[in-house]
Structure 1
Amino acid sequence: MASSRVSWTNIALKYGILVGVAHIVYFLLMGLLGLHDKTEMSFLSAIFLAIGICLAIANFKRRRNGTIDYFQGLAIGAITGVVSSTLLALFMVLYINLFDTSYLANLQTSALFPQSLSMLSLFALTIIYGLIPGFLMAFVAMQWFRRADHSMTERV
């Protein structure tokens, strides 16, 4: 594949979907372990986002023969965050409506969310909680990946 034909949007979408699936699996695992009432535990899923963004940027840089534009890296992070959090938000709406209507009430009693939290605001907040950290994580990651001495190929 020619390096000029590599699309950063396709890579961001792919890793966004993978991270979104990881978020959903983590959410379900928390439910199985009875940890849904520990809202703070859900923020640990940011680890999945950080790993996904770094892998996406590294994949893009490798497929572009070691070159990456700074703003492309930021966009990869933001889009990966939005896609993954949108998948999680859609899943949360389905989960709350079909399986556990009390989950929204648990979030409302948490100090991390307002008591007036609605389904729509939960959906929007979930996406925002993916976009902003995704952009910030990409900003931090790009400090490493933009360096010319950071090579994505093996050195012999």
Structure 2
Amino acid sequence: MASGNVSYQSVSIKYGIIVGIVHIVYFLLMWASGLQETVELSFFSGIFLVVGIIVAISRFKRMKNGMIHYFQGLGIGATVGAVSSIILAIFMMIFVSTLGQDYLFSLQSSYLFPESLSKLSLFLITIIYGTVPGVIIGFIAMQWFKRPDHTMPERI
């Protein structure tokens, strides 16, 4: 693909979808093993977001022959975070509405969420919990990637 035809939006949407699917798989594994009640474990899925954003920025920079603008990196972080969390939020609505009605009750009894947690607020909180860290992770990652000589190592 020519470097002029690549947009940061297309790269970040692709990796946002991948990260969103990985979030869902992780949640289903937690649910299958009975660990979905341990809300704190869901925060480990942030590692998937970090890796997805770093790989997306690295991939975009490589596709642009080592040139990336600072705000493109921030945009990648925000978009990967938003896309992945929207996918997860939609899945959570389907899950809570069909298989896991008890999951919402366990969240309401958790000290991390309010007792009045509704499906809509869970939907919005899920999106916020993915988008805001996405911007922050993009900001931190761009401290490394903004310089032309800093790239991820090539595959061996």
TM-score normalised according to structure 2 size: 0.96
Q: Which residue of 1 aligns with 2:124?
A: 124
Quote how far apart the aligned CAs of 1:100 are: 1.4
1:4-153 pair list within 5 angstroms = 4-151=4-151
Output the CA distance in 1 between the equivalents of 2:128 and 2:97. 21
Contact 1:61 1:152 in 2 (8 A): no
> 1:18-74 CA deviation, whole Å, 9 max, x = no partner?
000000000000011111110000000000000000000000000000000000000
Q: 1:153 to 1:102 in 2, by over 3 A?
A: closer
Task: Say how many residue pairs are matched.
Answer: 154
Contact 2:8 2:76 in 1 (8 A): yes
**4+ residue runs of structure 1 moved beyond 2 angstroms?**
151-154
TM-score normalised according to structure 1 size: 0.96
SS in 1 for 2:67: coil
Output the CA distance in 2 between the equivalents of 1:106 and 1:152. 41
Output the CA distance in 2 between the equivalents of 1:56 and 1:36. 29
SS in 2 for 1:111: coil
- Structure 1: 5+ residue runs without aligned partners? none
Quote how far apart the aligned CAs of 1:149 are: 1.6
Quote how far apart the aligned CAs of 1:4 are: 1.6
Which residue type is aligned with residue 79 of structure 1?
T
- Structure 2: 5+ residue runs without aligned partners? none
SS in 2 for 1:47: helix
Contact 1:66 1:152 in 2 (8 A): no
Cα RMSD for the two superposed structures: 1.1
Contact 1:62 1:153 in 2 (8 A): no
> 1:128-149 CA deviation, whole Å, 9 max, x = no partner?
0011000000101001111122
